[in-house]
Amino acid sequence: MDFSLFFSQLMGGIGNGAVYASLALALVLIFRTTGILNFAQGEMALYSTYLFWYFTQRSVPVLLAILITMVISFIGGALIERVIIRPVEDKSPLVIVIVTIGLFLALNSIVQVQFGADIKTGLPRFYAATTWRPGNVQISADTLVLVAMLAIVCLLLYVLFQHTKVGLAMRAVSSNAESSRLSGIPVGNVLMLGWGLAAALGALAGVLIIPQLGLEASAMQSILFYSFAAAALGGFDSPVGAVVGGIIVGVAQALATQYVHFLDGITLIVPFGIILVVLMVRPQGLFGTKRVERV
């Protein structure tokens, strides 16, 4: 067995896994507070990435463009929660599916109308896209940046949740919205904050991964599906699970693509299988809270 190839694939998988992890974190943020699986998460990130492209075309410095994009995404995400999601928050799964899918369709076609349907290539990175080969193992700067990004995001979220008043309020709302409201926490604002954070996180994942792939309207769809697999594996209400799940899914994808030739062209079986098996065997995932159903 060619170990340098194996480790190269492993590194690439971890890089992709970092992207899945951050999008899965966004899904988890929303699920914890509102109990919604946001099928439009990928398209929200897609819109943000198009915004980023637009700013860099207007020769805004890359890092500044990322920052502006994240701020706008934060506001957009909060607005989406307030205007579109709030009225249907406690409705049946069917209604929630319809609304998030409606959002999906709308965002996906709005980017094509607003920015053009052609593939945008050559989106800038803020670092040099080099590749190192220590002992024939390929490690790209992309991978390192993605992993570093994930680490920083985790740290910031940890500080937010565990060491700030706002984070405490967010945890309270996800634990029991009704009691939180009674003890004076502005639940509505917390929900908007959750959606805003998720949108900003998706934006960050988008602007970091898309330069490697090329930007087009369908760019985020399979990424979203892998992220759903990551969130399911880790447990939909567990941020730690989202990160671990993301890395596992990324690595599994890379190794399956390289070594399991039976799966050529149908690698999507990997996330699909993960989702299916986890939901059937252990619905709470690796790190999630087990839910008790009362009759």
Partner 1 sequence: MISRRQAQIIGLVVAVIVLAVLLVLPHQTGTTSTLRWAQVLYIGIAAMGLNLLTGYNGQVSIGHGAFFGVGAYTTALLMHNEGWQFLPTLVVAAPVCFLVGVVVGFPALRVKGLYLALVTLGLAVLFPDLTKRFVHATGGTNLVSLTRAELAPPAWVPLWVSGEGRDDQWAYYVTLGAAIVLVIAAVIIVRSRFGRALIAVRDHEAAAETVGINVAQVKVLAFAVSALYAGIAGSCAVLVTHIANAEKVNTFQLSIEFLVAVVIGGTATVIGPLLGAWIVVFLQHYISDDLPNHVSSLGPLKRVLGEPAASPAIFGILLILFVYVLPDGVVGGARRLYARLTRSRRTRAPAVPPSPTPLTT
Q: Cα dist. 21→78, 142, 184 in Å? A: 21, 15, 33
**232 interacts with partner 1 by CB under 8 A:** yes
**266 interacts with partner 1 by CB under 8 A:** yes
Residues in the chain, total: 295
For residues 283-292, one letter each, b for 16 or more C-beta atoms within 10 angstroms of the residue's C-beta and e for the rest, the string is ebbbbbeeee
CB of 59 to partner 1, least distance (A): 25
Give the residue, chosen from 6, 112, 126, 161, that forms a contact with partner 1 under the rule CB under 8 A.
112
Binding mask 44-83 for partner 1 (x = CB under 8 A): ----------------------------------------
**110 interacts with partner 1 by CB under 8 A:** yes
Nearer to partner 1, 156 or 260 (CB): 260
CB of 267 to partner 1, least distance (A): 8
Measured distance CA(121)–CA(80) in Å, rounded: 29
Measured distance CA(258)–CA(197) in Å, rounded: 35
Q: Which residues pair with 215 in a beta bridge?
A: 120
Q: Site residues for partner 1, window 246-265 (CB under 8 A)?
A: 264-265
**88 interacts with partner 1 by CB under 8 A:** yes
CB of 176 to partner 1, least distance (A): 18
Task: List CB contacts of 192: < 8 A, sequence separation 6 or more.
Answer: 78, 81, 82
Around Cβ 105, how many Cβ atoms within 10 Å?
A: 11
Alpha helices (runs of H) in 117-220, residue ranges in sequence order: 141-163, 165-175, 177-182, 187-213
CB of 46 to partner 1, least distance (A): 13
- Confirm if 46 and 108 have CB atoms less than 8 A apart: yes
Give the residue, chosen from 3, 218, 260, 289, that forms a contact with partner 1 under the rule CB under 8 A.
218
Nearer to partner 1, 129 or 269 (CB): 269
**119 interacts with partner 1 by CB under 8 A:** no
Give the residue, chosen from 1, 113, 128, 292, that forms a contact with partner 1 under the rule CB under 8 A.
113
CB of 61 to partner 1, least distance (A): 30
Q: Which helix (H) or strand (E) holds 132?
A: strand 131-132
CA dihedral 123, 124, 128, 129 (to 10 degrees): -10
Q: Contact residues for partner 1 (CB under 8 A)?
A: 36-37, 39, 84, 87-88, 91-99, 101-110, 112-113, 117, 217-218, 221-222, 225, 228, 232, 264-269, 271-272, 275-276, 279-280, 283, 295
